[in-house]
Structure 1
Amino acid sequence: MTSIQFLEEFRIRGESQAHTKDQWYTVAAVSLAAAGAGPDVTLLYQMATAGTSLDEEKRIQRRLKEAILKTSILYGVPRSLQTLLPLFATLDDEHIDHYGPRTNALKNGQIIEERQTRARKYFDTLWTPAAAQANREKNFKYQPDLYLLNLQTIYELWISEDTILSPVETQMCNVGALVCSGSPVQAMWHARGVVRHGGTIEQTRFAQDIALAVGKAYGYRMGEVIPVHEIPFDDTAPH
């Protein structure tokens, strides 16, 4: 394991401002997972939950597990399991947060059309409606099962689920995961997605800074990451 003390500055920085509060550990967790340092998330969890009540610990655990589950689509199931299983091994029965929003929704008879509508809106917001539709059509034209996997299954059931993490928080996690999985172009797309879903450029910068710090600490080759100040956001993007 590598010392994660460098993340303390992001904890302090994140918790000092309302729009980044409670987000440092989710972005850090997925960055570690993507960089192949998943077992160190147990140390991150200890850092994030130190001195908290049991209820607060479970809330943090819920958010952290959801972040890793969502971003596993970006960097792979094996790395997510290398992250989650060591964490699970530290939790006794009293400390397990046993909640799954998708499982609950399906159990309670959620209508699939509700998820489809939410997923379409999410994807349209991320790409803009015209670009999103072009993407759908291209996927379907060249490989219908790619459309089924990427645009239906992933967005309907996983990415657009917002009970635990908001779309902005999800996009921040996507930035961290993509930077640390060596996918700088896709990281830029999702950096714009933070803002398009209602976040700020400062939140985008915060997520990118955490990911770059994780990559540097673990010697991970991240490629040519485009700095936030060079990303072409809309002129109206909030700072």
Structure 2
Amino acid sequence: MAHLATPELLDRIKSLYPTSSSPPATAQEYLQNPYFFAAAVVFSAFNYPEAIPAVFQSALNDIKGLRASEDEQRHLVRKIRDALFKCGILIGYPKAINGLVALYGATPENLRDKEMIRDKTLPTEHWTASGQKYFNETYGETAEQTQKLLESIYPDFGFFCITHAYGYAYSFSDLISGLENSYIMLVSNIAMDVPRQIEWHLKGSVRNGGSPEQVKAVREIAVEVGKAAGAVWRNEIPQLGQ
């Protein structure tokens, strides 16, 4: 339901993330605020894809007001779309597909992509190496321990995580940076009420370049959107530094 993404909610979560320029003076500055793709991910996680067009349209209107070029408008769409693609690994692809369908329906024809953005000719070894690098950057000193856990519970799953999740999906940063990837994982896990993984990605967001203030803001964005979607958390949501 589009009314979940009310102007009041969007203004609130937009204001939470500390940026270098507030309000943003350019479309490029606006696109540095992760609120719009974080909201899309959380609404998808709670199976409210109907709210995504309102999130997208509000952000599109905002950057048009900042005289965004067509390329900048397309970049906005691509960021939301890639966030939904990436979050499907965590929230489940049926929900991600619903979110992508809703976004597609709201996207003007001139902003829709017709070709892949990732290079499908790259070999598996490329994505394995890229995924290992990003995994290590995200988990830092705990990377080896975490990877051993994933490989021990199911070796096939360990390979999938490094090569396909952290490689093909997450390490591709032409649209969404390593830090923004961490935000996607953080808000997805908040929506899913999994404290261990929330703690991992609170810390991972800092390792990937987020300031404590920014990471705390992304956590609050996820909570605010979750509440709008009617979320009730069984567990206490970890905070940075706990």
TM-score by structure 2 length? Answer: 0.83
Which AA in structure 2 matches 1:25?
A: F
In the alignment, what sits opposite 1:76?
92
The one of 166, 190, 210 aligned to 1:199? 210
Kept in 1, the 8 Å contact 2:202–2:239? The answer is no
Moved over 6 A (4+): none
Q: Within 1, Cα distance between the matches of 2:175 and 2:130?
A: 15
CA–CA separation in structure 2 for the residues paired with 1:57 and 1:203 = 24
Determine the C-alpha separation between the residues in 2 that align with 1:142 and 1:14.
37
Question: Corresponding residue for 2:20?
Answer: 17
How far apart, in 2, do the equivalents of 1:156 and 1:215 lie?
A: 28
| 3-state secondary structure, aligned to 1:101 | coil
The question of 1:97 aligning with 2:116 is answered no
Q: Alpha-carbon deviation of 1:73?
A: 0.6
Q: Which residue of 2 aligns with 1:235?
A: none
**Aligned-residue CA RMSD (Å):** 2.3
Instruction: Normalising by structure 1, report the TM-score.
Output: 0.84
What is the CA–CA distance in structure 1 between the aligned matches of 2:84 and 2:219, rounded to whole Å?
17
Distance 2:139 2:19 in 1: 31
Distance 1:99 1:197 in 2: 29
Offset from partner CA, 1:116-146 (integer Å, 9 cap, x none): 22211211122225x3223333433442211
Shift of 1:178: 1.1
Q: Tell me if structure 1 keeps the 8 A contact 2:127–2:164.
A: no
1:173 aligns to what? 184
Distance in 1 between residues matched to 2:222 and 2:153, nearest whole Å: 33
Mean Cα displacement is larger for which, 118-127 or 188-197?
118-127
Identity in percent: 23
What residue in structure 2 maps to residue 3 of structure 1? 4
Query: Which runs of 5 or more structure 1 residues have no equivalent in the other structure?
Result: 233-239
Task: Specify whether residues 148 and 43 from structure 1 end up closer, same or farther in structure 2 by C-alpha distance, changes over 3 A only.
Answer: same
Say which SS state the counterpart of residue 89 (structure 1) adopts: helix
Pick the aligned partner of 1:159 from 170, 177, 180. 170
Q: Using the TM superposition, name which of 4-13 and 33-42 deviates more.
A: 4-13
Letter in 1 for 2:98: Q
Q: Is the 8 A contact 1:168 1:199 kept in 2?
A: yes
- Distance (Å, rounded) in 2 between the aligned partners of 1:16 and 1:117: 32
What is the aligned partner in structure 1 of residue 196 from structure 2?
A: 185
Find 2:82's aligned residue among 61, 66, 72: 66
**Residue in 2 aligned with 1:227?**
239
Please give the alpha-carbon distance, in whole angstroms, between the structure 2 residues aligned to 1:186 and 1:172: 12
- Is there any run of 5+ residues in structure 2 with no aligned partner, and where? 22-28
What's the counterpart of residue 42 of structure 1? Answer: 53
Which residue number in structure 2 is paired with residue 121 of structure 1? 133
